[in-house]
Structure 1
Amino acid sequence: MASNVTFDQIEVGATADLTRVCSTNDLVVFAHASGNRNPLHLPNSDFSGSDDGKPPVAPAMWVGALISSVLGNILPGPGTIYKAQTLTFHDRVRPGDCLTIQVKALEKRAGGVVRFRTTAQLANGTLIAEGEAEVVAPSLRIEYDPKDLPPLLVERHRHFNRLVALAKRLPKMPTAVVAPDDANSLEGVYLAAEAGLIAPILIGDRGRIEKAASGLEGDLSRFELIQVEDEGEAAARAVALVHEGRVQALMKGHLHTDDLLKHIVKRDGGLRTKRRISHVFVMDIPGRETPVVISDAAINIAPDLATKVDITQNAIDAALSLGLTLPKVGILSAIETVNPAIPSSLDAAILSKMAERGQIHGGLVDGPLAMDNAIDVQAARTKGITSLVAGHAEVLITPNLEAGNMLAKELTFIAHAEAAGLVVGAKVPVMLTSRADDARARLVSCALAMLYSHWQRNGVAVEAFVPEEDC
């Protein structure tokens, strides 16, 4: 708990300050709250009024709002009412800048009025703004919890943006694209190729692919196209390209998943390894500190315990490839205690013990956990769960395909998450997107495949994930 400083307690010369790193999310939130949509202040805008190549500029009043934050939260604190504020701006703030705001009491006047000097400067000492504020200070003591603030949903998918940026550091990945003969799948190929992620080889019926390309902007002739009319044969040809060393990944186009998978998992000439293949959804959920990996939602319908071991290990490997150094894995069930009447709770407990004994490695594994106490700290505390995973899970292993599929789609359509999918456990990563997925989902799936392939070859991620921190 914290308390304010009343008028009688304020001494002339008293100071208070806060330090804040400007982020692109700050700019987006401020634009929504203020209605100021000036593209100069927004990331990823098409504004071309400046050619200095610098990132967007924080609105001046965003800096002013931080001054209000010091006065309203610290000195004098809750109960403060503004009377006046003057500001002179000497420089600008950009995302990534570390800003220190300070207020200093200059004079106390009748009627509870206090005059403050206000300044804002960067960590290197550059003065951004200065001025004076007049406020009516509170007369009564108020205690409050500074963390008691309703959560804010910001629909900006920063985790996926980061993953795409990391993938761009890597060489283009030769990729066989099977039956990209609809607008969504072909547009995803265009987008990923233009972003420098993949070097695609298109396999399918030339006529259908050219028809799909006719409604898109882009030059189809720049890609190699292997004519195969039948979709099943196209999938077989794509698998053969892996064995020939011509491609390092597969991408599903506009064909049924089964038509692709049967050639991947076949014993002779397929892409099987000693481990069972499985699917992972990587979810970028607004408000979550890290990406969330969900498995398996697309391949293994009702996995037995042995299959769940591989599903869990595959999901951990996928999380490691994203830069999560010791992924926290929650094995989900309907409850957080072992109940012989609920088979998934038994499997979860066994998987957790197997991880303790090193049979599953690379992550912290705990279960059974219900969804609430897997991802919410308060829910875990309420139920008395002591665990390094509970409340902090970054990987969620679902009991079966139905549960995983419903969870991923609920997050997408209700929680405004973005989803990208990948098949792991085969000799090469497979981008197994839905036929209804848009180009953005296919782009991110390409990034996932590149990061996973890099991790497979090198044993380390391109870059470790570091949560955003204040300066």
Structure 2
Amino acid sequence: MSDLAPLAEAVVVDPLVGHPADYHVFHKFLDRCKSLPAITTAVCWPLSDVALRGAVEAAIEGLIKPTLIGDEAEMRALAAKIGVDISPYPILDADNEVKAAEISVSMCRSGNAQAMMKGSLHTDELMKVAMARDTGLRTSRRITHVFVMDTPAYARTLLISDAAINIKPEFEDKIHIVQNAIDLAHALGIPEPKVALLSAVETVNPKIPSTMEAAALCKMADRGQITGGILDGPLAFDTAVSLHAAEIKHLNSPVTGQADILIVPDLESGNMLAKQLEYLGGAQLAGIVLGARVPVILTSRADSAETRLTSCAVACLLHYATHPVEIA
């Protein structure tokens, strides 16, 4: 018998986390968007199969009204190759990725686009233009990223931040990371999200900076400096998502075992966590950038068209959370 067999059997008999039967989160977002107008979206450099197909499918679903920005001849050739009709959508020609990013950001700054969607260019190339101090999409908030997860291994919507923008965030950055994630949770229909501030341990240890920052963030929430959510930390990953693990460690908290938001110490840990859940845990994910003038739909170049579709739904809900639909 394999040395892993007893472990596998134990997991089946006594799992730490309840497992819903199937994906149970993303379809709710898509359903909510059916009653909302599509948002005008600058689609930057959709020059791969999944990037172009994802934008078109989101348009067909009524989530976005895309303007396709990139090399027009290449886009038309790609559309013909993969059997996608792009004739209904405006095209702005750009002969390179930087120019496409500049046009996309300009559309958002001028109000001609309510969201921006990354195509097949590298994240750094798009965000460098978006984060330019005088010509980009900056606001008083720090620009941050959230992965929205739908996994069969967890019964709740799970938000992970920041795993794509802020590499080694300073403490002040983490205040924005937390508040941005809470505001997104509200837009997704979670009225009082439970926020787990992750570290390797559950006790404050001066030698582990993330534990000190977690304690300070919790106190800021107590004093009303961070609002709209319930914070606890430091928490290890297991106690954040498993009531059983929290009970074993004698932790009693409204957050343990039922976190809606996971705040990670840095980009590396967050990126690895999200992709482990995706590739080994079977999770679906959506990616969104917060704190900019408009929602930025930011997915990996390897992500599927389905991921891009759901990311558009998240952007749509986020837009209308701050721009309510006017009823005539």
Which residue of the partner structure matches residue 359 of structure 1?
Answer: 225
1:294-309 correspondence to structure 2 within 5 Å = 294-309=160-175
Identity of aligned residues (%): 48
CA distance in 1, matches of 2:24, 2:52: 25
Q: What's the RMSD between the two structures over aligned residues? A: 1.6
What amino acid is the match of 1:361? T
What amino acid is the match of 1:395? I
Match of 1:373 among 218, 236, 239: 239
Which residue of the partner structure matches residue 388 of structure 1?
Answer: 254
Which residue of the partner structure matches residue 222 of structure 1?
Answer: 88
Greater helix share, structure number: 2
Q: Does 1:169 align with 2:35?
A: yes
Which residue of the partner structure matches residue 350 of structure 1?
Answer: 216
1:37-116 correspondence to structure 2 within 5 Å = none
Which residue of the partner structure matches residue 310 of structure 2?
Answer: 444
CA distance in 1, matches of 2:97, 2:34: 30
- How far apart are 1:391 and its partner, in Å? 1.4
Q: Does 1:416 align with 2:282?
A: yes
Matched residue SS, 1:221: coil
Match of 1:274 among 140, 148, 153: 140
Match of 2:154 among 288, 291, 294: 288
Q: Does 1:313 align with 2:166?
A: no
Q: Which runs of 5+ in 2 are unaligned?
A: 1-12
Which residue of the partner structure matches residue 240 of structure 1?
Answer: 106
CA distance in 1, matches of 2:23, 2:80: 31
Which residue of the partner structure matches residue 135 of structure 1?
Answer: none
- How far apart are 1:210 and its partner, in Å? 1.5
What amino acid is the match of 1:408? A
Match of 1:435 among 296, 301, 317: 301
For each residue in 1:15-66, what CA deviation from the matched residue of structure 2 results, as whole angstroms up to 9, or x when unmatched? xxxxxxxxxxxxxxxxxxxxxxxxxxxxxxxxxxxxxxxxxxxxxxxxxxxx
- How far apart are 1:152 and its partner, in Å? 7.6
**What's the TM-score once normalised by structure 1's chain length?**
0.64
Which residue of the partner structure matches residue 102 of structure 1?
Answer: none
- How far apart are 1:398 and its partner, in Å? 0.2
Question: 1:272·1:426 contact (CA, 8 Å) conserved in 2?
Answer: yes
User: Which protein has greater RCO, CA pairs closer than 8 Å, 6+ apart?
Assistant: 2
CA distance in 2, matches of 1:334, 1:387: 17
Match of 1:159 among 25, 38, 53: 25
Question: 1:352·1:367 contact (CA, 8 Å) conserved in 2?
Answer: yes
CA distance in 2, matches of 1:380, 1:153: 17
CA distance in 2, matches of 1:275, 1:152: 36
Matched residue SS, 2:121: coil
Question: 1:373·1:380 contact (CA, 8 Å) conserved in 2?
Answer: yes
CA distance in 2, matches of 1:152, 1:315: 24
CA distance in 1, matches of 2:201, 2:14: 30
Q: Does 1:188 align with 2:188?
A: no
Instruction: Give the count of matched residue pairs.
Output: 312
Question: 2:194·2:255 contact (CA, 8 Å) conserved in 1?
Answer: yes
1:395-414 correspondence to structure 2 within 5 Å = 395-414=261-280
Question: 2:130·2:137 contact (CA, 8 Å) conserved in 1?
Answer: yes
CA distance in 2, matches of 1:288, 1:405: 18
CA distance in 1, matches of 2:21, 2:97: 37
Q: Does 1:337 align with 2:199?
A: no
Q: Does 1:249 align with 2:108?
A: no
Matched residue SS, 1:435: coil
CA distance in 2, matches of 1:180, 1:408: 24
Matched residue SS, 1:349: helix
**What's the TM-score once normalised by structure 2's chain length?**
0.92
Change (3 A) 1:286 1:221: same
CA distance in 1, matches of 2:130, 2:101: 8
CA distance in 1, matches of 2:190, 2:89: 34
Q: Which runs of 5+ in 1 are unaligned?
A: 1-147, 460-471
What amino acid is the match of 1:404? G
Question: 1:252·1:432 contact (CA, 8 Å) conserved in 2?
Answer: yes
CA distance in 2, matches of 1:314, 1:179: 27
- How far apart are 1:158 and its partner, in Å? 2.2
CA distance in 2, matches of 1:209, 1:323: 36
Matched residue SS, 2:25: helix
CA distance in 1, matches of 2:14, 2:255: 25
CA distance in 2, matches of 1:238, 1:187: 19
What amino acid is the match of 1:406? M
Which residue of the partner structure matches residue 6 of structure 2?
Answer: none
- How far apart are 1:395 and its partner, in Å? 0.3
For each residue in 1:392-434, what CA deviation from the matched residue of structure 2 results, as whole angstroms up to 9, or x when unmatched? 1110000000000010011011111101100001010000111
Matched residue SS, 1:450: helix
Which residue of the partner structure matches residue 3 of structure 2?
Answer: none
CA distance in 2, matches of 1:307, 1:246: 29
Question: 1:155·1:416 contact (CA, 8 Å) conserved in 2?
Answer: no
Question: 1:180·1:254 contact (CA, 8 Å) conserved in 2?
Answer: yes
Change (3 A) 1:435 1:355: same
- How far apart are 1:452 and its partner, in Å? 0.7
What amino acid is the match of 2:120? H
Question: 1:281·1:408 contact (CA, 8 Å) conserved in 2?
Answer: yes
